[in-house]
Amino acid sequence: MNPMITTFDKQLHREQVVALWQAVFGYEADHNVPQLVIDKKLEFGDGLFFVALDDQTVVGTVMAGYDGHRGWIYSIAVAPEYRKQSVGSALLDFAERKLTQIGCLKINLQIMEGNEAVENFYLANGYLTENRISMGKGVPDNIVRN
């Protein structure tokens, strides 16, 4: 499949993206609630949030970020019925090209430990495993439920 990839549009894509993310990711942590993630990303306004469309249906998403030095691939989601059709690779390539255009020197990403299918996807797309420890700290004061 050759999806059309475009910048996320709140009016056109929000409901479909929320449904896709709930189906694909499940979400257990408060800071990963789809509506909150979308609102925070749009508030930041970097334009690095893209959707893959089959006609007008959202079949995949990629959310990226850039801090002036490194780029990040935060997440890629592909509807189960569209997997193994190169939608994920097309989304990744699109985000990489956008990050390259704005001067990114290196692209990083994180994968949940034990998620071999996702690890293999990124390895097949040229990413290498790096010896790092990932750490995080929640900021509950900024997690507002709608």
For residue 71, the domain's CATH number is 3.40.630.30
Q: What was the pLDDT predicted at 33?
A: 83
Residue 98 pLDDT > 60: yes
Condensed to tens digits (0 to 9), the pLDDT of residues 28-72 reads 676 778 888 999 999 988 999 999 999 999 999 999 999 999 999
The mean of the pLDDT values for the chain is 93
Q: What's the structural domain count of the chain?
A: 1
**CA geometry: angle 86, 18, 129, nearest 5 deg:** 45
As a 3-state breakdown, the chain gives helix, strand, coil percent values, each rounded to 5, of 40, 25, 35
- pLDDT level of residue 3 (50, 70, 90 thresholds): very high
Q: What was the pLDDT predicted at 68?
A: 93
- 111 and 2 Cβ atoms separated by less than 8 Å: no
Give the structural domain span for 35. Answer: 4-142
| Alpha carbons within 13 A on the beta-carbon side of 33 | 11
Dist CA 78 CA 72 (whole Å): 18
